[in-house]
Structure 1
Amino acid sequence: MFGIYLRRELSRRKKAALVVAMGLALGIALVITVTSVSAGMTQAQDKVLKSLYGLGTDMTVTKARSAPTSDGSRGPNFKFDARSSGSTSQSSDRVMTQGGQALKSSLVERVAAQKGVASAVGALSLNVTKVDGSFTRGTAKSSTSSSGSQQQGGPGGEGGGGGQPQVQGGGADFDVNSYSVAGVDVTRQGLGPLATMKITSGHTFTAAQTNAKAAVLAKSYAKEKKYKVGSTFKISGTTYTVIGIATPDSGESTTDVYLPLQQAQSLGDAKNKVTTIYVKATDSKRIAAVKKTIQSNISGTTVTTSSDLASTVSGSLSTASSLTTGVGTWLSAAVLAAAFLVAALLTSSAVSRRVREFGTLKALGWPSCRVTRQVVGESMVNGLVGGGLGIALGLAAAYAVTAVSPKLTAQLGSGGGGTAGGPGGGPGGGPGQQAASKLEIALSAPVSLTTIALAVGLAVAGGLIAGAMGGWRASRMRPADALRSVS
């Protein structure tokens, strides 16, 4: 009886039921869209942190660089040998450690021994500035004049019959190329700079290549320099062979060249030194406690976690994330509340127009609870229909965002103050001291089962709220008063 009457009443009031369902659907669709886009923002931020911070890395340990002394405050300098040839080619590499102050390699084992640390690995970040070009020797010639009185004279201001010597030709033509180098522990590549890189050509280091003159290049750098597997290049006179080309999991690589740690230490004159220690905790929920333990037991170090790093992400990704979590959340809540209110008012208004109907039912013996149940049942159907439509609209919107994949830029670090460098082994060491590094991320809008469950819950809640208000009003009607009313 309940189902028959419910179906008949809903079919009689299709337009009213559709209006209520669509109101709920729009609110639920907006909630799904905002929730899925917010999840996409979180994934995008994770990709940024992962590509710059290191896959599986929970924190890094670095040491701030001390203030430069008067002797060490000068910038890079290059010295060339003088040669007698008319056109002389010159080339020189300046290799400098980047990031923070160098740490002893033995500190890696101390960090690994701390409570809550699953593993730790050291890396050395270098910046290589290569100056390559040639000097061309000029020719000194004297200019003469037919009238000595027309000459302005020599350096002392005296007139003279002979012209001053002039250098003709000559000069210099140099290219300056700067790139980043990361020294990686080839025995533990699952943690550290190379962890976020995928080998697309050739192969990565083997465990036996701890001091091999081999290199893995970032794809963008290899393309720029037209290197391929098997190519060779020199750094400070040492020839390295390219054994692999790697592509980051997302964005652009912050490191151009990857070398075995011992080779990087030799180049940077940093024997048994590292600039960054990558740390993985045994429990991701206790990262803050592990950070505190390392800082307490190993003085003078800076421990930076991924949550610390997340606060430095800026650019359009950060702006969009703020809008989604701020404006989007409040907008969803406002629209949803408005949809619930409209559904409740429309249901209550429909009850008012059915006064005579409910009065007749009560006169026939229907108790108030049965009338209320009838109204709530109709509202629940409207809510579930609205939920279904809302889920469909929300999924369509999320699919559209994923299909379009709008590009967002993420910038990690501020470039101002501090030392240049990137946490992922770029031209720098710790995450707290990195230069501004920009990545481009494609936004997606994944919809989880939790989001669908939330939508169903909102649909049921909307139906219950609307039905409760309408049922309460219907239950207060007295048969005699209802029968005197004419709808």
Structure 2
Amino acid sequence: MFGIYLKRELSRRKKAALVIALGLALGIALVITVNSVSAGMTQAQDKVLTSLYGLGTDMTVTKAQAAPTDGASGRPKFDFNAGSDSSETQSSDRVMPQGGQALKASLVTEVADQAGVASAVGALSLNVTKVDGSFTQGTAESAAPSGQGGGAGQGGGQPRVQGGGASFDVNSYTVAGVDVTNQDLGPLATSKITTGTTFTTAQSNSKVAVVSASYAKENELTTAKTITISDTKYDIIGIATPDSSESTTDVYLPLKQAQTLGDSADEVTTIYVTATDSKQIDTVKAAIQKNISGTTVTTSADLADTVSGSLSTASNLATSVGKWLSIAVLIAAFLVAALLTSSAVSRRVREFGTLKALGWPSRKVTRQVVGESIVNGLIGGALGIAIGLGAAYTVTAISPTLTAELGSTAGAGGGGGGRMGGGAQQAATNTMDIALSAPVSLTTIALAAGLAIAGGLIAGAMGGWRASRMRPADALRSVQ
């Protein structure tokens, strides 16, 4: 009986039901669109933070670079023999640690022993500046006599040097020392070996190297070749392609080899840390800073503050303005649906009064109105989900490009950079282009369905309350 009557009443009031459903649909569609775009923003920011921070890394521990002492500038210095002739090519490599003041390798164990730390790995970042070229000696020639037929005391002109000079090429690249026993954490964690192999635990002090794909292409390197750094040859065993185009590391070496190369025995520049619980990162950060003095702990939240550009602006708009707007529209849709339902009940005085005269109790009348409203809500939910999915698909199909400017975090190592994915800290700002998508999760769809039912219940509750207050006499007074 209930179902038959419900179907008949909805069929009689198609326009009113459609208006209520469309109002709910627009609010629900906006919620789905905003949530999906926000999810896309989060994914885009995760890509940016992965390039800054490193896959699986929760925080890094560094130490700010100390100020130069005794007039030392810290700039690279090269000494060449200027007496060499043009047939001799001279080459010199300057290897310097970068990314902050060196830390004792024993601190890695100390950090790993802190409460809440799941794993800690040390890495050494080096900058190699290679200068090679040759000098060309000039030729001394005498100048022409100042006068003709000069007598005694009239000599030739002063000798002059013709030609000569120097031609040198400067090449700078970065080297990261990797703990080969735990490559899932640290500089190499954000790259995939696309050619050859990665390091093995047996190669902890072997003269082997993995080079980035871009550096290998630029210098025509393959796994069959070697790379020479400070007169030491390293066999290239693998080519690594970084997950992010923003990785700055060119060459990866076993940590012990990098320490030898940089004259940094038992030292690291960065300690990569993962926490046992991602919700306790701030607590772990505070514990490390308290128990290990002089260190700077940088988390992903710190790095997120350095991301600016259109991605950051759009994310802020989606998070603040977009969500509040969707909430406001949804509330308005609920209110409109409730008012329209209540208005419809007012126009059905004769119907409900007659039903009560026939013996329908107030709860049965209320159930009838609530049932109709829930059906309207479900129809509106279905329409809203369809519209929302269409809007999300359109955003994904268009894939608007957003720009993320990656700055540096203050105090995150001497280099001033907060960048950890490639192991090299940087002070300069980089720019990434991120294609925006709008993924829709099952949670979002479930939320939309719940909102549709909630909207129907709210509208039905208001209309049902009004219908339950009608008396049979109201039906008689409405007869003209």
**Structure 2 length-normalised TM:** 0.89
Matches within 5 A, 1:64-83: 64-83=64-83
Tell me if the contact between 2:190 and 2:422 (Cα under 8 Å) persists in the aligned partners. Answer: no
1:456 aligned to 2:449?
yes
Matches within 5 A, 1:166-315: 168-315=162-309
Tell me if the contact between 2:94 and 2:130 (Cα under 8 Å) persists in the aligned partners. Answer: yes
Cα distance between partner residues in 2 of 1:218 and 1:191: 17
When residues 79 and 254 of structure 1 are mapped into structure 2, their CA distance, relative to the original with a 3 A threshold, is same
1:212-244 C-alpha deviation (Å, 9 max, x unpaired): 222112222222333222232222222222211
Flag structure 1 segments of 5+ consecutive residues without an equivalent: 149-159
Say which is worse superposed, 392-401 or 408-417, in terms of deviation. 408-417
1:475 aligned to 2:454?
no
Flag structure 2 segments of 5+ consecutive residues without an equivalent: 149-153
When residues 86 and 279 of structure 1 are mapped into structure 2, their CA distance, relative to the original with a 3 A threshold, is closer
Q: Shift of residue 300 of structure 1?
A: 1.6
1:368-390 C-alpha deviation (Å, 9 max, x unpaired): 33222222111111111111121
Q: Shift of residue 461 of structure 1?
A: 1.1
- What is aligned with 2:151? none
When residues 228 and 15 of structure 1 are mapped into structure 2, their CA distance, relative to the original with a 3 A threshold, is farther
| Code of the aligned partner of 1:454 | L
Tell me if the contact between 1:29 and 1:391 (Cα under 8 Å) persists in the aligned partners. Answer: yes
- What is aligned with 1:157? none
Among 436, 447, 464, the alignment partner of 1:443 is 436
Q: Shift of residue 298 of structure 1?
A: 1.8
Say which is worse superposed, 118-127 or 340-349, in terms of deviation. 340-349
Tell me if the contact between 1:40 and 1:445 (Cα under 8 Å) persists in the aligned partners. Answer: yes
Tell me if the contact between 1:251 and 1:441 (Cα under 8 Å) persists in the aligned partners. Answer: no
Tell me if the contact between 2:34 and 2:323 (Cα under 8 Å) persists in the aligned partners. Answer: yes
Say which is worse superposed, 138-147 or 356-365, in terms of deviation. 138-147
Tell me if the contact between 1:281 and 1:287 (Cα under 8 Å) persists in the aligned partners. Answer: yes
The 3-state SS of whatever aligns with 1:211 is coil
1:267-302 C-alpha deviation (Å, 9 max, x unpaired): 211111100111222333333332232222222222
Tell me if the contact between 2:189 and 2:421 (Cα under 8 Å) persists in the aligned partners. Answer: no
Say which is worse superposed, 249-258 or 412-421, in terms of deviation. 412-421
Tell me if the contact between 2:146 and 2:157 (Cα under 8 Å) persists in the aligned partners. Answer: no
Matches within 5 A, 1:91-102: 91-102=91-102
1:296-353 C-alpha deviation (Å, 9 max, x unpaired): 2222222222223323232333222211111111111121112112222222232233
The 3-state SS of whatever aligns with 1:240 is strand
Tell me if the contact between 2:216 and 2:239 (Cα under 8 Å) persists in the aligned partners. Answer: yes
- What is aligned with 2:337? 343
Q: Shift of residue 143 of structure 1?
A: 5.6
| Code of the aligned partner of 1:419 | G
Tell me if the contact between 1:218 and 1:245 (Cα under 8 Å) persists in the aligned partners. Answer: yes
Tell me if the contact between 1:32 and 1:391 (Cα under 8 Å) persists in the aligned partners. Answer: yes
When residues 420 and 129 of structure 1 are mapped into structure 2, their CA distance, relative to the original with a 3 A threshold, is farther
| Code of the aligned partner of 1:445 | A
Cα distance between partner residues in 2 of 1:420 and 1:129: 20
Q: Shift of residue 458 of structure 1?
A: 0.6
- What is aligned with 2:421? 424
Q: Shift of residue 460 of structure 1?
A: 0.9
Cα distance between partner residues in 1 of 2:386 and 2:157: 91
When residues 238 and 438 of structure 1 are mapped into structure 2, their CA distance, relative to the original with a 3 A threshold, is farther
Q: Shift of residue 84 of structure 1?
A: 3.8
Aligned identity (percent) is 76
- Between the two proteins, the alignment pairs up a number of residues equal to 472
Tell me if the contact between 1:419 and 1:435 (Cα under 8 Å) persists in the aligned partners. Answer: no
The 3-state SS of whatever aligns with 1:320 is helix
Tell me if the contact between 1:91 and 1:132 (Cα under 8 Å) persists in the aligned partners. Answer: yes
Cα distance between partner residues in 1 of 2:138 and 2:424: 39
Say which is worse superposed, 324-333 or 87-96, in terms of deviation. 87-96
Tell me if the contact between 2:195 and 2:238 (Cα under 8 Å) persists in the aligned partners. Answer: yes
The 3-state SS of whatever aligns with 1:216 is strand
Tell me if the contact between 1:99 and 1:434 (Cα under 8 Å) persists in the aligned partners. Answer: no
When residues 414 and 276 of structure 1 are mapped into structure 2, their CA distance, relative to the original with a 3 A threshold, is closer
Cα distance between partner residues in 2 of 1:225 and 1:15: 72
Cα distance between partner residues in 1 of 2:43 and 2:314: 13
Tell me if the contact between 1:123 and 1:185 (Cα under 8 Å) persists in the aligned partners. Answer: yes
Tell me if the contact between 1:415 and 1:435 (Cα under 8 Å) persists in the aligned partners. Answer: no
- What is aligned with 1:156? none
**Structure 1 length-normalised TM:** 0.88
1:367 aligned to 2:364?
no
1:119 aligned to 2:119?
yes
Cα distance between partner residues in 1 of 2:354 and 2:243: 70
Say which is worse superposed, 385-394 or 344-353, in terms of deviation. 344-353
Provide the aligned C-alpha RMSD in A.
2.7
